[in-house]
Amino acid sequence: MHPIKTGQGDQKKTFTELSFVLKKKIMQLIINGRMSKHHASVKYSVAKSTIDYWLKKFTTLDEKQNFMSKENEIKKLKERIEELELIKDFQQDLIVEFELETGKALAKKFLPEQLAKEIEKKKRASK
C-alpha cells in the first residue's frame, strides 16, 4: 500500500492505493461470505462503490453467481430466523397464559433454562 497525495494547496487528501493482490483477497473474502462489503470498506478504508466496481470488473461469471446465491441464501435464512422468532414468542405467550390460568409452573420443569427464564419474565410483565 502506497499513500498518494491528491489535490492542491490546503485541500490535500491522502488515500491508500491497494495492490491488485490485496484487492483480489478482499474480493475473495466477500465472495466466500467471510466478510461483508461494509466491513471490508471500513477495514481497508475503501468506498463500497469501489468494492462494487472491483467485483464487477474482476470477478468471473461463476464467482458472481456463487456470490449472488450466497446473498440470497443469507436473505432467506434471515427471513426464516424472523419467522421462527415470531413462532417462539407466540408459543411462549401461550405457555404464560396457560401457567397463569392453571397456576402450574411447568416451564421450569420441562423447558431449557433460558426459555424458562424468558417465560418467567413474560409472566411478571403480564401481571
Predicted TM-score (pTM) of this structure: 0.47
The answer to whether residues 1 and 37 belong to one domain is yes
User: Given this model, what pLDDT does residue 93 score?
Assistant: 93
Answer yes or no: is 68 within a domain: no
Amino acid, res. 127 = K
Residues 82 and 28 occupy one common structural domain: no
Q: Which uninterrupted H or E stretch holds 87?
A: helix 61-102
In this predicted model, what pLDDT tens digit does every residue of 3-56 receive, in sequence order?
444 444 444 444 457 788 888 889 888 888 888 889 999 999 999 999 888 888
- Alpha carbon distance 40, 58 (integer Å): 16
CATH for 24: 1.10.10
pLDDT at residue 59 above 90?
A: no
- Structural domain total, the chain: 2
